Amino acid sequence: MPRVLLALVAFLLAVLVPTASGGTADLITADQRLVDALTLLDANPHTNGLREVLDSNQVHIQFVPMANGIYARYSVARHVVEIDDKWANADTRTLAAVIAHEATHAQDAVSGNLSAGGSDACIDSEIRAFRTAALFWIDRFGPKGKADAEDDLERQLNLIADRQLHDADGLGDLVRQTYTAQCSH
């Protein structure tokens, strides 16, 4: 009986606890919603290389509590994408757009783009991240965005996608203005 109990405990730990290696492969055992969101990214021509970036660099994705107004972030030092747990039950397509944004930062970090140019590189990464999420969003919902946007995050994704479609330079300018202070640190 003790062997059966130990085997059961070992199995549950293997299935329920992410391994130290991190990476999106561990998400299969951690959170099916995130795995489903990554599958959507795999199927999109604008984002289909992002899972490989996350996997090859052992970037983990998780939900955590965040300060009001912060939806998600990527930590270069910790190799982790963190999404505000407020969005844990968001539409899978919405999660995919958020992951697309943050995974673009991971891609920029591993390619050396972030370390190459200080605040300008940071701002350029933000612009790329917003564009990537917008292009994914447009492909999923069309040029008018998600018709039944359910929350602030989806409404913002609609606005960003609209700006990308109708004023791409203006989107870059808006991101530059918004992130200048944050990227100067």
pLDDT (tens digit, 9 = 90+) per residue, 136-178? 999 999 999 999 999 999 999 999 999 999 999 999 999 999 9
Check residue 30 and give its pLDDT: 64
Over 60: is that where the pLDDT of 11 sits? no
**Mean pLDDT across 7-18:** 33
Over 90: is that where the pLDDT of 108 sits? yes
pLDDT (tens digit, 9 = 90+) per residue, 29-69? 468 999 999 999 999 999 999 999 999 999 999 999 999 98
Higher pLDDT, 28 or 88: 88
Check residue 159 and give its pLDDT: 97
Check residue 41 and give its pLDDT: 98
pTM of the model: 0.83
Least confident of 6-15, 58-67, 80-89: 6-15
The per-residue DSSP string of the chain comes to -HHHHHHHHHHHHHHHS--TT-SGGGHHHH-HHHHHHHHHHHTSTTTTTHHHHHHHTT-EEEEE---TT--EEEETTTTEEEEEGGGTTS-HHHHHHHHHHHHHHHHHHHHTHHHHSHHHHHHHHHHHHHHHHHHHHHHHH-TT--TT--SHHHHHHHHHHHHHHH-HHHHHHHHHHHHHHHHT-
